[in-house]
Structure 1
Amino acid sequence: MTTKETFTLHGENLVKKVKELIAEGNIRKITIADKEGKELMSFPLTIGIVGAIFAPILAAIGAIAALIGECSIIVEREPDEETPKP
């Protein structure tokens, strides 16, 4: 079962926060929504996404960040492997 977290921030911090989340490595999917909750962009993160493949996604996030004020990032995380399963 995945867990979801939501971060609310201003557009200028969007790319920085997405990079931080990707560096954590346990993210399954990132969704970016405007302040009304309308989904603007959603992309899955798999173990194989790195470097050149991810650069166009960051460019698109940067373009969105330039156009919007406040937004939300909804993050779906992989379950912790250390947590025992019932």
Structure 2
Amino acid sequence: MTGNQEPGGQPTLREQLEVAGHQLEKKVRELLHEGNVQHLIIKHEGQTILEIPVGLGIAAAVLAPVLAAVAAVGALLTHCTVEVVRKGE
């Protein structure tokens, strides 16, 4: 995990998780339910495939198409990296 600071002065923590493609949707769902996640970046071999900004008030109806896209990406990849940007404390 690495520390950083956003332009507004808010400290952030970045974490990279290696995930098998078939487990990607489940992992993203778990991360979306955590309260301190601000941003998810899905990468494959160093290239960004999908970026998901996460807000506290995101409704399930808004997330449904995003999770469908994540499931499609996971079906195509054997493994990927999920970069998690969290609020620092």
Query: What do residues 3-57 of structure 1 show as CA deviations (whole Å, max 9, x unaligned)?
Result: 00000011000000011111111100000000x1100000110111121000000
User: Runs of 5+ in structure 1 lacking a partner?
Assistant: 81-86
Amino-acid identity (%): 38
Q: Which structure shows the higher strand fraction? A: 2
- How many residues end up aligned between the 2 structures? 79
Determine which of 60, 64, 76 is the counterpart of 1:67: 76
Q: Which residue of 2 aligns with 1:55?
A: 64
- After TM superposition, the runs of 4+ consecutive aligned structure 1 residues lying more than 3 A away are none
Q: Which residue of 1 aligns with 2:40?
A: 30
User: Runs of 5+ in structure 2 lacking a partner?
Assistant: 1-10
TM-score (norm 2): 0.85
CA RMSD in angstroms comes to: 0.7
TM-score (norm 1): 0.88
